[in-house]
Structure 1
Amino acid sequence: MHRPGRISRRRFLQGAGAAAAFPLFSLPAGAGDRPPNFVFILTDDQRYDTLSCAGHPFLHTPRLDRLARDGAFFENAFVTTALCSPSRASFLTGKYPHRHGVRDNNTPFPAEARTFPRILREHGYRTAFIGKWHMGTQEDPQPGFDHWVSFPGQGVYRNPVLNINGETKRVPGYITDILTDLGVQWLRERPAGPFCLYLSHKAVHSDFIPAHRHSGLFTDTIIEPPASIHDTLEGKPEWLRQVKRAGPGAEYREMAELVRNYCRCLAAVDESVGRVMRTLQDGGVLDNTLVVFAGDNGFFFGEHGLSDKRAMYEEAIRIPLLMHFPALIRPGMRVREMALNIDLCPTLLDLAGLAIPGDVQGRSLRPLLAGRKIPWRDEFLYEYDWEPDARRRPAIRGVRTERWKYIEYPGSANISELYDLRSDPLELHNIAYFQPGTRIEAEMKERLGRLTQGIPAPRSGPAGA
């Protein structure tokens, strides 16, 4: 099979200069003619606060903490849709769901889509996808990857059946360990040249089944309900009263055990990250490799009485985002600017010195990683389309700024919401209900109207759901 030519050092520098109007970083000593490598590690349903470096009260994540200590910790990272498949497609393409077309968990990823692995491969990178693809029922190898390991849908935690380069095989063991084994193996045996590994974990999607070695963790840990579980829902949209609600006290005991198992699953993810980093170090490529760790969306554990994700409250839309790249990132960097999942694709292409497709909606994070103070986004659009699989959750369009959040439910009778995140971080007091007609409400409605101009109306359910 014909392989495109490898990127030369000269071409890398020329492309990087054309792609960005800020100084090139210096590759580490000994990097020679090598453009940067990329390792993207994605978890499923991981909340932004489930890292010890993010202040979690009992979860210990030393390997992930190392990424933050030696690299960059994004304090305000978000997804544009808090749902697995749309978010995953946004990471790959740098586009919103209304543009890439994957607007629910049942839509397959379009074969013609331009993704960062596909573009990197066209320019000489060796690429591998290992893990959870989760778009429609796709499990067979997808365009843009030299090496492929996946499974249909959500997969299972134990003894999974994997599709390895088009052939199915049952592999005994625990899924996080298996995917890590295969990722490490590929890193060690890959052909020479620049590479991109996308390691996509099943964890920590429900059912939260931990590895046997972690099943005893946190047994005696007391799990307190979140403060917003006491939300009375006064002044909130009707749909919140129609979904199954989690309550405090004795009602929370079952959810508390789910939290324990969720954190037990993350213990294996943390170990996985350590193994990948050690493999890069042993192979002499760690200093020339951008390692990105992120979650595809957050998760509710009783906030506002909710479980799952989808809604536009902070626990669902915020994600962990860590980056390690000694060639560019100073250790211990804290990035306060708002980063989105659609920023990954342009960031990787920019660092590789490649042109970013004109229809990409994200921005390269490279200047922020270089420590530059530049004009940055002060708002972003959130979108969610109604799904038959979640009938009681209405379509959503919203806008978030650093301080304010405004939410509408198009095609339904649910009232709008407006929150001052500075004075009301738990999102309990809906200003649009208690103090309608304020100047800030008008301003946020105008922002949302501008951001949604020309975008197709969201799919809404029967009877306005």
Structure 2
Amino acid sequence: MNRRDFLKQCAVTGIAGSISSAASGAGAQLGNKTFNLRLGKRRYNVLFVFVDQWRFCSLGHGPNHDPDVITPNLDKLAKQGAHWSRCYATHPVCTPNRSAVITGRWPWQTGMNQNDLMLPPEERCIAQHFTEAGYKSHYIGKWHMDGNAKPGFVPQGWRRRGFTTFEGFNRGHFYFNSPTFTNDGDMMRDIGLYESGDYEPTLQADLAIDFMRNNQKNPFFCFVSWGPPHGPYTPPAEYDIYNASEMTYRPNVPDDKVGNTRQEGYFGSITALDHEFGRLMKSLKDLDLEDDTLVVFTADHGDMIYSHGLSYKGKPEEESWHIPLLMRLPGKIDSGQITDTLISTADLMPTVMSLAGLDDPTTCTGIDKTQALNGGHMPDASVYGGVQDRWRAVVKGDHKLIVEQIDGNEVATRMYNLSTDPYEMTNIINETSVQTVKDDLWAEYLQWKDKTQDSFPEYPWLAENMY
């Protein structure tokens, strides 16, 4: 089936329209509607869907989006809730940014500055807060914060960082031979719970649906971590529907990379995941949990797919650093809104906790951004990120400043106007007309270094592989 036939099938099944267009102690519970009586706050479930290497523009909606990719279920989510159009990773590499999501802190604060490290035991994590508030907290999928074990069983206890149950593995990409462990450490494919050849995200969606069904009467925090669209870019056959010769490539992809087949597999993997996401949304509806559940969709980092001739992640360019962020919570997040307030993945922990009705955490460097929703206003802020001792970058307003480590020195090498030059084709770092803006961005950069205890341009400290 090609992309055209897939679209026709979607039309038949009614999808085409969407393509185009707890409280323990002080709390009390009524069904799955949980309240904090002391604070007068309603507690909501959370379904947090986290994907690996999905760039901001590879959705069927949004500014400068890839026009060929098919994501009807995520497009529907955006229409029902909020699309944060300017979300950036703290550190666009797997382990570092995953740690930022669950701690609300930058990797150079936690030591998680490269892959295959173990999050230090003293770090306070989001699931700990939910579990202590009486939630059933459950993790499914790739973890990548428990050292270098591959695939690696994450044992019960502190290494699960507050998740009371866990069905997944530490690291690796095994999409048709999943090494998913049960909560007790049995590999599912060894005990008949998974058959090799089946698509791993389908298994993980099944596990999430089972967990939510079994916890309809309890407040829950369910974190689903999918491996695709990270390579090897091999979608299931029914979603291998894209043809390189018929695809549109971003304007910053050089001519010799136009027609590359990597984008075929990348988009196919995205459309396959969109289908699984749709199954999760249908389950919430069927279980009568839609109105009681905050849904969050985001990624650890993006993928260059040859924009600027580059590959994979870890770059300051938009395709790598800028990631999707969608949220839905009926009655609390107005439908169909796009907020251009800058938000970092370090802001997710305090923001999600606030939306769910929990108290503000005191350990986060990131901040609660809920004020930016529903037409609200937040002071003009900036976002900050980087990778090891290679680069740092700041985005504020329309502009991005990139600072690189050159011979041990921090040097501002590139600057872009993302409003007039969204594909970053023209470096304006030396233009005198933007000197004031450049100076302001440099001041922001220095403030962020201080706020996040960043040693750049020196290599940041590293956590251990095992504690």
Scaled by the length of structure 2, the TM-score of the pair is 0.82
Residue 213 of structure 1 pairs with residue 216 of structure 2: no
- Aligned 8 A contact 2:109 2:454 in 1: no
Are 1:149 and 2:157 counterparts? no
Q: 1:126 aligns with which of 116, 136, 141?
A: 136
Q: Distance in 1 between matches of 2:262 and 2:54?
A: 13
Task: Give yes or no for the alignment of 1:43 onto 2:51.
Answer: yes
Q: What does 1:178-189 correspond to in 2, within 5 Å?
A: 178-189=203-214
Partner of 2:383: 380
Deviation at 1:110, TM superposition (A): 2.4
* Amino acid aligned to 1:367: Q
* Aligned with 1:63 (options 49, 68, 73): 73
Give matches, 1:126-275, under 5 Å: 126-135=136-145, 136-137=147-148, 139-141=153-155, 142-169=160-187, 170=189, 171-172=194-195, 173-190=198-215, 192-215=217-240, 217-219=241-243, 222-230=246-254, 248-249=255-256, 251-253=257-259, 256-275=260-279
Name the residue aligned to 2:5. Answer: none
Please point out which of 317, 320, 334 is paired with 1:316. 320
Which amino acid in the other structure matches residue 181 of structure 1?
Answer: D
Q: Which runs of 5+ in 2 are unaligned?
A: 1-22, 460-467
What secondary structure sits across from 1:207 in the alignment? coil
Question: Contact between 1:39 and 1:199, CA under 8 Å: does it hold in 2?
Answer: yes
Output the CA distance in 2 between the equivalents of 1:424 and 1:350.
Answer: 35
1:74 corresponds to? 84
CA distances 1:49-88 after superposition (whole Å, capped 9, x unpaired): 1111234312221111110111111121111211111111
**Quick one: distance in 2 between partners of 1:156 and 1:459?**
36
SS at match of 2:186: strand
Q: What secondary structure sits across from 2:323 in the alignment?
A: coil
- CA distance, structure 1, for counterparts of residue 233 and residue 239 of structure 2: 12
Pairwise CA distance, 1:287: 0.6
Deviations 1:402-461 (A, max 9, x none): 211111123536762222223332223323346599333222222211221262413757
Shift of 1:328: 0.6
Q: Is structure 2 residue 61 aligned with structure 1 residue 53?
A: yes
Match of 2:277, SS state, is helix
- 1:279 corresponds to: 283
Distance 2:223 2:413 in 1: 38
Name the CA distance, whole Å, in 2 between partners of 1:36 and 1:11.
Answer: 9
Partner of 2:445: 448
* Percent identical residues: 26
CA distance in 2, matches of 1:377, 1:147: 40
User: For residue 425 of structure 1, what is the amino acid of its counterpart?
Assistant: P
Secondary structure of the residue aligned to 1:294 is strand
User: What is the Cα-based RMSD across aligned positions, in Å?
Assistant: 2.5
Distance (Å, rounded) in 2 between the aligned partners of 1:16 and 1:89: 31
CA distance in 2, matches of 1:51, 1:437: 32
Structure-2 separation of matches of 1:97 and 1:16: 35
Question: Aligned-pair distance for 1:279?
Answer: 1.1
Q: Would the alpha carbon gap of residues 80 and 312 (structure 1) be closer, same or farther in structure 2, given more than 3 Å must change?
A: same
Tell me what 1:7 maps to. 27
Distance 1:134 1:120 in 2: 21
**In the alignment, is the contact (CA less than 8 A) between 2:244 and 2:264 conserved in 1?**
no
Cα distance between partner residues in 2 of 1:119 and 1:12: 14
Rounded Cα–Cα distance in structure 1 between residues aligned with 2:321 and 2:289:
33
Give the conservation status (yes or no) of the 8 Å contact 1:15–1:355.
Answer: no
Equivalent pair of 1:116/1:348 in contact (CA under 8 Å) = no
After TM superposition, list the pairs within 5 Å mapping 1:276-355 onto structure 2.
276-355=280-359
Query: SS state of the match for residue 53, structure 1?
Result: coil
For 2:445, give the aligned amino acid.
L
The code of the aligned residue for 1:380 comes to V
- Pairing 1:357–2:367 present: no
Change (3 A) 1:15 1:362: farther
Distance across 1 between alignment mates of 2:90 and 2:440: 21
Distance 1:153 1:446, change over 3 A: same
| Residue in structure 2 matched with residue 111 of structure 1 by the alignment | 121
Q: How many residues align?
A: 413
Question: Which amino acid in the other structure matches residue 401 of structure 1?
Answer: K
For the structure 1 residues 339 and 358, does the alpha-carbon distance in structure 2 shift closer, same or farther, using more than 3 Å as the test?
Answer: same
- What SS class does the counterpart of residue 128 from structure 1 fall into? strand
When residues 121 and 432 of structure 1 are mapped into structure 2, their CA distance, relative to the original with a 3 A threshold, is: same
Deviation of 1:164 after TM superposition, in Å, equals: 1.4
- In 2, Cα distance between the equivalents of 1:65 and 1:126? 29
Any idea what the Cα deviations from partners look like across 1:261-317, whole Å, max 9, x if unmatched? 111111221111111111111111111100011111111022221111211111111
Letter of the 1:40 partner, please give it: F
CA contact (8 A) 1:16 1:354 kept: no
Distance 1:320 1:459 in 2: 28
Q: What amino acid maps onto 1:319 in structure 2?
A: I
- 2-structure distance, mates of 1:139, 1:35: 31
Stretches (4+) displaced over 6 A:
none
Quick check: 1:13–1:353 contact (8 Å CA) kept in 2?
no
- What is the deviation of 1:360? 0.9
Q: 1:224 to 1:377 in 2, by over 3 A?
A: same
Judge conservation of contact 2:372–2:378 (CA < 8 Å) in 1.
Answer: no
> Residue deviations 1:325-379, cap 9 Å, x none?
102112211112112212221122223433223231222232233x142333421
1:40 Cα deviation from its structure 2 partner: 0.3
Q: Distance in 2 between matches of 1:446 and 1:73?
A: 29
- How far has the Cα of 1:179 moved from its partner? 0.7
Whether the 8 Å contact between 1:139 and 1:150 is mirrored in structure 2 is: yes
CA contact (8 A) 2:81 2:329 kept: yes
